[in-house]
Chain A
Amino acid sequence: MLAAAASGIAVWRRPVAPRADLVLWSFAETHVATLRNSPRDSHGSRAPSLLKQFQMRTGLTTNVSLVGQTGENIRLASAFMSGSSGPSIPDLCEIEINSVGEFLRPPVDDIGLLPLDDFLRKSGWEDRIIASRFAPWSKIDARTGARIIYGIPEDVHPVTIAYRKDLFDDAGIDLRQAGTWSGFWDLCLEFQNYWAKHGRPDRRAIALSTNSSDEIVEMLLQRHINLIDSSDRLHFTDPKVLETLVFYAQLIAGPRAIAADPSPGVEWTEDFDRGNVCAVCTPDWKADYLREFTPDLAGKVAMMPLPRFEPGDAPTSTLGGTMIGICRSCPHPDQAWELLEFLFLSPQSHRAAVAAGDDVLPAVPEYWSDPAYHLPDGFFAGGQSIGDLYVSLAPRIPERLMTPYTYQAELALGVVLHRAMEYLAAGGNVDGLRGPCAVWLAEAQDDIRRRIDFGNIEP
């Protein structure tokens, strides 16, 4: 008892390091490293870290904490739902795109993040950031119909296809000729047939997920379809969703399948290296994994835009994303905005990201002309500049919307996809699949509709 009391008092009396003027939570180690580390300038000398530069400019101290993503979400959700404020709550926080929906659930005045529209307008960044990337971090005010922005996008994440040019060349196939998904499918079947005859019947043309709805959602985005739009309208029963789902199911199941499930984590690079799968959907953040984990493939890999379904579709899609926002409880929002602007939007922040060897395109188009994005890349066949490709696709990325129900909608889509796969795997034909698939999609839509109506508390 005495020992407990003594240690309790000791802990209580222990001096606590004073809180920095501004505290930022990030879930990504690479982001934290870019902010904390001292980047090298073009002459090779080290500049102070971004945090140090900010302190020198403003006299304000900043603490950037690396918090595990699930932990950050739970802690922020608890803080926002209880309306807490004080030193334990950060002033700024990074939120990942798949997590943001839950934070946008309350009515606009009750969301734990500060609306940033005024800051954006006054600073001029509203017109300098790519407009489509505000969509995931915004919510429509049910009273006025106005869109309110709660987060500044840090990235664009256009998606391309990286493929084993050496293996496709061996099969006499130029994958870049495939302008449409159906053409791409035909070429991939031809590729698999070639390799089946040459001792590799297990070789698959592309890695597509049977396990998550990531790639099918990418395809739907290409067709400008979000399962739930900003007005909470549902689009499961859109004919294009049915068409895309049936098409995708055939890519991953049945006699004309061309895809294998991507291995988890970065293990897919091993499959790519061994030629088990020979193409992979590659958002910009994924490109560096190829260089890092498959160095032996230098000169053997090429990259191409996504094929389309129809001429009006986007030649790219988007996967992943991060926002930086200011917590509503922050006592000094102006200082927090100044920090946000400096760490994530300023030319200094851009230079630090480039110096860190980041492939990720920023959400500010004026930085895309940086020569760093247009250099020939020795890893890709013929020195292909993948930066050039990403930059050319970035303005055309489709709008990705996130609502509190998007996660559940994509989960429901995944369940329908599995039923479709099971149907094909059991020997069912495509024409016979359309009818049941339409019913399953309608059921999924009804389920999500009920959830939205049930959870909706706004007028």
Chain B
Amino acid sequence: MNRDRWWKLQARAAPYLFVSPFLIIFCVFLLYPLARSFCLSFQRTVGPGHVIFVGLGNYRFLLGHDLLFGLAVLNTAVFTAAFLCFQIPLSLGLALLLNSRRIRLRSLFRFSFFSSYLVGQVFAGVIFFQLFSPNGLVNHILGAILGRRIIVPWLSSPAMVLPSVLIASLWLATGYGMIYFLAALQAIDHELYEAAQVDGAGRWSRFFHITVPGIRHMLMYMLLIGAIGGFQLFELPFVLLQGPGPGGRGMTIVMYLFIMGFNAGDLGYASAIGWILVTMLVVIFLARFRFFRFRREIGV
């Protein structure tokens, strides 16, 4: 092979060679499992010798007859809505506070609030399991404040499951949201605030007419990411409640998927749950685009 042909071959092959590590990893660890799980969702699998094609049977049962799946969807949706209602204002409030030049040691505070996110859901689950236990720190502090023994059944009462998971989630995710909002706030031109102040605009007016429009893309992004994270919630309640929790009130969609896959041993059914979840997330994602298009159309 002469030098010219060798160079041509290299030039042709090089791009493929460079992308091949990513492609191989993508295909082996993502594409193939995705395709396999999609096929599995149309099958009932109970062992190497028993793979039965059931068509849409898994989906029909899941959507038409499965009360526990309904409970899991309800729990997840309520959690996600509550999480977004608290996380967005808290993260934004913290970001506004730590964006102020009057605060000293801002970097330290920023890192401190963000650092909880670094430890992960399992760690947070273990920590809050101890804090919320009947003899845990939270009940001790409440008892000390009220001057008598207090046992709030944080983890054993169905009514307290959502608040407990929510508090732990907010501890984990508020700092994360704060970092994104800080980035968005710092991108707003400061002259706008100065001009508004000169024109006599008050704090709230500046917030609603400069800050909110300036961070609206980040706001939508945080809502989207928060909603996706909420629908994918698993490790935190699983560790915190040691399972689905009292009355199944802590069972999320992914936890139900895990239970069906690894407690009931039905991987086909678990795959169908996974694909229903994917569909839900796609709907949320598309709704976000529709919302933006609608705002553009009406000129907001």
**Contact string against B for A residues 70-84, beta-carbon threshold 8 Å, 1 for contact and 0 otherwise:** 100110010011110
- B68 CB-CB contact with A under 8 Å: yes
- A393 CB-CB contact with B under 8 Å: no
- B50 CB-CB contact with A under 8 Å: yes
Which chain A positions have C-beta within 8 A of B158? 418, 422
Given contacts A110-B50, A112-B47, A457-B52, contact A267 B135 (CB under 8 A): yes
- A447 CB-CB contact with B under 8 Å: yes
In the complex, are the beta carbons of B264 and A405 less than 8 A apart?
Answer: yes
A74 to B261, CA, bound (A): 9
A412 to B46, CA, bound (A): 23
- A239 CB-CB contact with B under 8 Å: no
- B291 CB-CB contact with A under 8 Å: no
Q: Among A81, A261, A270, A447, which residue has its beta carbon within 8 angstroms of that of B156?
A: A261
- By DSSP majority rule, is chain B's interface helix, strand, loop, or mixed? loop
CB distance from B253 to the nearest CB of A (A): 15
Which chain B positions have C-beta within 8 A of A7? none
Which chain A positions have C-beta within 8 A of B155? 211, 264
- A431 CB-CB contact with B under 8 Å: no
In the complex, are the beta carbons of A408 and B68 less than 8 A apart?
Answer: yes
Q: Among A101, A103, A110, which residue has its beta carbon within 8 angstroms of that of B48?
A: A110
- A38 CB-CB contact with B under 8 Å: no
**Contact string against B for A residues 412-425, beta-carbon threshold 8 Å, 1 for contact and 0 otherwise:** 10110111001000
In the complex, are the beta carbons of B61 and A414 less than 8 A apart?
Answer: no
A74 to B263, CA, bound (A): 9
**Contact string against B for A residues 96-119, beta-carbon threshold 8 Å, 1 for contact and 0 otherwise:** 000101110111011110000000
Number of A-B contacts (CB under 8 A): 124
A73 to B259, CA, bound (A): 12
Which positions 429-445 of chain A face chain B at CB distance < 8 Å? Answer: 443
Q: Which residue of B lies closest to A80 (CB)?
A: B47
Which positions 233-250 of chain B face chain A at CB distance < 8 Å? Answer: 242-249
Which chain A positions have C-beta within 8 A of B248? 411, 414-415
Which chain A positions have C-beta within 8 A of B156? 209-211, 261
A110 to B49, CA, bound (A): 7
Which chain B positions have C-beta within 8 A of A263? 133-135
In the complex, are the beta carbons of B133 and A418 less than 8 A apart?
Answer: no
In the complex, are the beta carbons of A106 and B68 less than 8 A apart?
Answer: no
- Size category of the binding interface on chain A: 35 or more
A418 to B248, CA, bound (A): 9
A264 to B262, CA, bound (A): 23
Which positions 96-112 of chain B face chain A at CB distance < 8 Å? Answer: none
In the complex, are the beta carbons of B44 and A261 less than 8 A apart?
Answer: no
In the complex, are the beta carbons of A81 and B247 less than 8 A apart?
Answer: no
A261 to B129, CA, bound (A): 15
A419 to B129, CA, bound (A): 25
In the complex, are the beta carbons of B149 and A407 less than 8 A apart?
Answer: no
CB distance from B98 to the nearest CB of A (A): 36
A25 to B266, CA, bound (A): 23
Q: Which residue of B lies closest to A274 (CB)?
A: B135
- A450 CB-CB contact with B under 8 Å: yes
A413 to B68, CA, bound (A): 12
- A331 CB-CB contact with B under 8 Å: no
- A202 CB-CB contact with B under 8 Å: yes
**Contact string against A for B residues 246-273, beta-carbon threshold 8 Å, 1 for contact and 0 otherwise:** 1111000000000100111111010000
In the complex, are the beta carbons of A202 and B149 less than 8 A apart?
Answer: yes
A265 to B248, CA, bound (A): 20
Q: Which residue of A lies closest to B150 (CB)?
A: A202
Given contacts A261-B153, A414-B246, contact A457 B46 (CB under 8 A): yes
In the complex, are the beta carbons of A83 and B47 less than 8 A apart?
Answer: yes
CB distance from A48 to the nearest CB of B (A): 38
Q: Which residue of A lies closest to B44 (CB)?
A: A457
7 pairs, A vs B, C-beta closer than 8 Å: A101-B264, A110-B47, A209-B156, A261-B156, A407-B264, A418-B246, A447-B66
Q: Please give me the 8 A-B residue pairs with the lowest Cβ-Cβ distance, nearest first.
A: A83-B48, A418-B247, A106-B47, A102-B265, A110-B47, A211-B156, A106-B46, A261-B156
Q: Give me 6 other A-B pairs in contact (C-beta within 8 A), A209-B156, A261-B156, A267-B133 excluded.
A: A106-B49, A202-B149, A261-B153, A271-B134, A408-B259, A411-B68
Query: Using a CB–CB distance below 8 Å, which chain B residues touch chain A?
Result: 44-50, 52, 57, 61, 65-68, 71, 129, 133-135, 149, 151, 153, 155-158, 242-249, 259, 262-267, 269
